[in-house]
Structure 1
């Protein structure tokens, strides 16, 4: 609905993304790099000096593989004991990990000023999946201190001068207003939160975030991380060089004892929400942790088992670490086939099987295309959306119970969504990246077809399997989604870029063995591009496209005919109208899968209701800044990169599984200036 729609005032102010500011308004910003990308179809990485989130680098798509079989059949079993199905999954499988140091950019300036586009983005997913899971943490949680107030009265502040270790992670101080902000977000959209207990300073343990987190968030807090990549502690100088899995075991035990014996404000602190071991698969393997007896010893305390892993890193190029510099053009093809996800998850299959045996859900707690911010032209293009879908669905088939895609500041290439930089806020808005489209597609692929939301009250019934489609061709993977032994959806990826149409797939979907089905079905246009498909009775199936012209395309992708535009184009609400089409099945359903694209086919009799009309509650703002006064902001306040500030470099504090890196400055949101400029909080309107 538009801003002029009938609406009602909410009891909280929201931050501004379409700030109504006259041209004579001005803000002085120090140490800010240019952020508006130069209009171009291609650019070398070294030629661009602005923020990574808007880097214009465009790469050459891989050539069409030869040979490529473009016609094949997917035969689905229905009923009986279907072999190869995953553990039950939820539509909220793919969530987000927000670096704690940028929470005030992404979530909101404080509990009375929420980022409206973030609400809209979460609402889109919650409508499809029932709820969204979000972690606020990362490296910057490890020494974060909860205080009664900050020197400048802000919700969150960083001690830039105190940054240390190879990742240059700055110590954080924050007030419980961050927790109140998260709770208010959950009052509008069903977002469930993960937090982290500061683990680097374990003597004594800082339990405030656990205690106040549970008191303020209640049931919306679903887990507390105990240690962020502890297998990198020794390498980063946080522990001595002998630190190993048994040492982590001992520190975890100390934390459980501290929670058990806590005599501080909240006597009801739950010690059964812990998440471990959260290793990066860098200097330890999960098996080394399991061999300590970790799972059995802390069975009553462990809510989830988790790891963190990235398929590659761009640290040498970003931070001159001395390692091998990877050329984005060279690594691009490695993200564009079915082996990309397999190469990440195969090393965790023993652990997911063990977790299932122990009755625990196993999470990929932090991941994305590459650590140290990703690659230009790889992490920020349509190919990353297809990679994110295939990788997520492979994790689901392999026994993972959820995954979180990392979100940094302006300084990374891989963000699912990026708030605008300061000097763009008066006329530009958020940038929605390819990984967010992955989340939309995965939510609709895995969400239950036969149940009503909220999903939090349901027992998961959705299971998925890899169909090894097209004789295992790595460029054309496909998945079947089942409920109670019956196939309800099929997802098909075409990784190939071919504008000629010669590489479009023609996939025949057959269900059961009788070969019977309707001879014709009606064609209708309701909300999205679908295909009618069913092989018995009067069932209608549908399809949705995630479509772009090339795997190298930046922005303006469409999911079921809707888009979030390009750089600075979005307030979190999809643009465009969904459409529904029906086709006949005689008897099998012939599905066209353009090159490149992801197609989701709905098979159930009530697919109209399941696939069509996805209209989420959306939010709009009525706040306005002053238009005459100027403000000068201390450079330290504007050092809002993912963790730190160092000699003009841009970077991330998350080294993932490969290496560590220093980090650098980025630009802050316009909303951080709102209080200095005198923002009038009129509230928000819900449409």
Structure 2
């Protein structure tokens, strides 16, 4: 194994940022103001990740029951899920975007990425990331560490694009795997890796070998085949290819690994990784699991969402996804109006429909003692929707969807990342040519990851149950989380968009049937954290327990603001705790102090940096000057140049913002490795 020495140093311009920041909002941008104006997508031509399009929320329901009872009973409650790991909510990353998201190579890791992951890990204890997707199928390894200029670890062969999904073959160096290994040396992240499976006659196991070398115990699975049920329509297999063929080819991988001395851990394989183009029961009927039991570490399926993976000969694949946006993105499939699709995400029905096709398979997996994973999913195929995938409604949707999947006996669900050209990324680095002056953009799915991590906790003993709350009302779902037979937390969702407060709900929670003076009885008080925004259509500036990661280009990965945990006093005589749930919001209720501190007892690690990539044209403004300046004005449209060597022919900036000072640092990441270059 390589010996690693890691060094960090702080170079942020103001350490006070760690303690607190005052945010001055432009009029109309109050984080709790309802932002429901619409904007035409055609008017915006920039990257999808920063699209300003907003949609109108669904109308307020007229018959919503706003007060209802919820009772949780200690002991063996029928309907509890299997035990759910703290890392249940994971991420799926397309192989081709690893450099942009994680870091240039193993000696230069993105610090904002580390900070963002540290926030989740402080709640979940561990985390899982799947690196794969369409691009895994043609990935090859060169063993030359210096194969690419500027220390890069990956190159795309754009001239080799031949299949209907327009996926470029990838060439990676061992430094690609060393990058993942260095991340895991800093934090408890485990990895699933995809391997090429298009050409089983010439199997290449380099990724398996290097994965075991560089990741060690943090390599927890190898994905064999990315949606093989679409190989025929993608042009990668002959007509008639079906489950028996895949199962036989899977055996060729098993055989190759058994004969590879550099792939010592053979129980890492994961299959069948299919969507809904095959009946998954047909795969089970082949005897797949029993045949390869000794090599299978988990079973998995996908609801693939990336780019053109749904575009097969002018057909847009839906499975039972909430919907797709393939026509708008790529001109194929069925045209869909985002405004019409928006309400479909703001209901518990969406999560139920997503989980429903797999209930028989999760039950089957339990009989075989195998975890069952959703390897790749997100809001919509073909990159998602502007105004749906990138707004607060998506955060509510992902929380509810994930909790439904936990209740349905999945052992993990991974939300996918694409590049700058998708709407649904949990977080997005700035474009490379803007990294000197822009920070990262944190999307709604990231907030969902934080909420679900705290709801499930880090014990590994959590069991989830859908309480069928409020008479089964689809706008107000609720869940209870048990540990060792005792209810410890409850999660309540209000999908309704109503800034007036007239649609706020109150859930009257009783513990132990409302008894008093007995173990497990309703406590004297409970703690509550809220995920909030002013509207389901709001972009950015959401808050989780009072903390935010801001708007576009705002975040270095650290939360801004003081954490706010509310205390709700209970009526022990009546045996109830009345929990308000704002419209819209999520409320996470901790039924004891231990339940709250279990998974948030330590502050998240903050990673600093010694990297400086730009030592000119970076500026800071005195806080007092900024607070009193007309920051929403454009300085009379008198524009000046900040390019090095250029003349400033316009009115001086200092006339509008006196006290301008130059700083010579930028919060990018560097992890320094000793010994061998990687």
* TM-score, normalising length: structure 2: 0.82
Residues matched between the structures, number: 578
Q: From 233, 236, 246, give the equivalent of 1:235.
A: 233
The alpha-carbon deviation at position 468 of structure 1 amounts to 0.1
Is residue 349 of structure 2 the alignment partner of residue 318 of structure 1? no
Deviates more, 1:420-429 or 1:56-65: 420-429
Q: Which residue of 1 aligns with 2:264?
A: 269
Q: Conserved in 2, the CA contact under 8 Å of 1:390 and 1:493?
A: yes
How far apart are the structure 2 equivalents of 1:211 and 1:548?
46
Q: Deviations over 1:299-349 (max 9, x none)?
A: 11111100001432211110112x211111111100000000111110000
Matches within 5 A, 1:44-443: 44-79=40-75, 81-149=76-144, 150-152=147-149, 154-262=152-260, 266=262, 268-281=263-276, 283-309=277-303, 310-321=321-332, 323-443=333-453
Matches within 5 A, 1:14-25: none
SS in 1 for 2:229: helix
Q: Which residue of 2 aligns with 1:644?
A: none
How far apart are the structure 2 equivalents of 1:279 and 1:591?
41
Q: Deviations over 1:182-223 (max 9, x none)?
A: 111111111000101111121121101001111111000000
SS in 2 for 1:75: strand
Deviates more, 1:323-332 or 1:487-496: 323-332
Matches within 5 A, 1:635-650: none
Q: Conserved in 1, the CA contact under 8 Å of 2:430 and 2:440?
A: yes
SS in 2 for 1:621: coil
Q: Which residue of 2 aligns with 1:580?
A: 565
Is residue 520 of structure 2 the alignment partner of residue 512 of structure 1? no
**Structure 1 residues 253 and 75: alpha-carbon distance in aligned structure 2, compared to 1, 3 A threshold:** same
How far apart are the structure 1 equivalents of 2:337 and 2:349?
20
The alpha-carbon deviation at position 682 of structure 1 amounts to 8.9
Q: Which residue of 1 aligns with 2:594?
A: 606
How far apart are the structure 2 equivalents of 1:436 and 1:10?
30
Q: Which residue of 2 aligns with 1:482?
A: 482
How far apart are the structure 1 equivalents of 2:612 and 2:164?
41
The alpha-carbon deviation at position 622 of structure 1 amounts to 2.7
Q: Which residue of 1 aligns with 2:466?
A: 466
5+ residue gaps, structure 2: 15-34, 304-320, 618-665, 674-678
Deviates more, 1:421-430 or 1:479-488: 421-430
How far apart are the structure 2 equivalents of 1:130 and 1:68?
38
**Structure 1 residues 17 and 195: alpha-carbon distance in aligned structure 2, compared to 1, 3 A threshold:** farther
Larger Rg: 2
Q: Which residue of 1 aligns with 2:635?
A: none
The alpha-carbon deviation at position 271 of structure 1 amounts to 2.0
- Give the alignment's Cα RMSD to 1 decimal: 2.5
Q: Which residue of 2 aligns with 1:657?
A: none
How far apart are the structure 2 equivalents of 1:164 and 1:46?
30
SS in 1 for 2:82: coil
SS in 2 for 1:443: helix
**Structure 1 residues 301 and 164: alpha-carbon distance in aligned structure 2, compared to 1, 3 A threshold:** same
**Structure 1 residues 595 and 681: alpha-carbon distance in aligned structure 2, compared to 1, 3 A threshold:** closer
SS in 2 for 1:400: coil
**Structure 1 residues 516 and 232: alpha-carbon distance in aligned structure 2, compared to 1, 3 A threshold:** same
**Structure 1 residues 17 and 261: alpha-carbon distance in aligned structure 2, compared to 1, 3 A threshold:** farther
SS in 2 for 1:493: strand
The alpha-carbon deviation at position 269 of structure 1 amounts to 2.8
SS in 2 for 1:439: helix
The alpha-carbon deviation at position 582 of structure 1 amounts to 2.0
Q: Deviations over 1:486-520 (max 9, x none)?
A: 100000000000011010011100011353279xx
How far apart are the structure 1 equivalents of 2:669 and 2:593?
51
Q: Which residue of 2 aligns with 1:637?
A: none
SS in 1 for 2:384: coil
The alpha-carbon deviation at position 125 of structure 1 amounts to 0.9
How far apart are the structure 2 equivalents of 1:15 and 1:620?
5
Q: Conserved in 2, the CA contact under 8 Å of 1:539 and 1:605?
A: no
The alpha-carbon deviation at position 74 of structure 1 amounts to 0.2
Q: Conserved in 2, the CA contact under 8 Å of 1:14 and 1:115?
A: no
How far apart are the structure 1 equivalents of 2:517 and 2:387?
45
Q: Which residue of 2 aligns with 1:35?
A: none
Q: From 608, 616, 626, give the equivalent of 2:604.
A: 616
**Structure 1 residues 380 and 112: alpha-carbon distance in aligned structure 2, compared to 1, 3 A threshold:** same
Q: Conserved in 2, the CA contact under 8 Å of 1:12 and 1:113?
A: no
Q: Conserved in 2, the CA contact under 8 Å of 1:96 and 1:406?
A: yes
How far apart are the structure 2 equivalents of 1:17 and 1:50?
29
SS in 1 for 2:481: strand
How far apart are the structure 2 equivalents of 1:392 and 1:278?
19
SS in 2 for 1:135: strand
Q: Conserved in 1, the CA contact under 8 Å of 2:322 and 2:345?
A: no
SS in 1 for 2:480: strand
Q: Conserved in 2, the CA contact under 8 Å of 1:134 and 1:194?
A: yes
5+ residue gaps, structure 1: 1-8, 20-38, 452-459, 519-533, 630-676
How far apart are the structure 2 equivalents of 1:512 and 1:241?
59
How far apart are the structure 1 equivalents of 2:80 and 2:542?
31
The alpha-carbon deviation at position 589 of structure 1 amounts to 0.3
Deviates more, 1:485-494 or 1:604-613: 604-613
Q: Conserved in 2, the CA contact under 8 Å of 1:13 and 1:113?
A: no
How far apart are the structure 2 equivalents of 1:184 and 1:354?
37
How far apart are the structure 2 equivalents of 1:511 and 1:324?
49
How far apart are the structure 2 equivalents of 1:469 and 1:614?
33
The alpha-carbon deviation at position 17 of structure 1 amounts to 10
The alpha-carbon deviation at position 167 of structure 1 amounts to 1.3
The alpha-carbon deviation at position 610 of structure 1 amounts to 3.5
How far apart are the structure 2 equivalents of 1:250 and 1:165?
24
How far apart are the structure 2 equivalents of 1:155 and 1:143?
16
How far apart are the structure 1 equivalents of 2:238 and 2:597?
58
Q: Deviations over 1:584-616 (max 9, x none)?
A: 211210000000000000002534534765510
* TM-score, normalising length: structure 1: 0.81
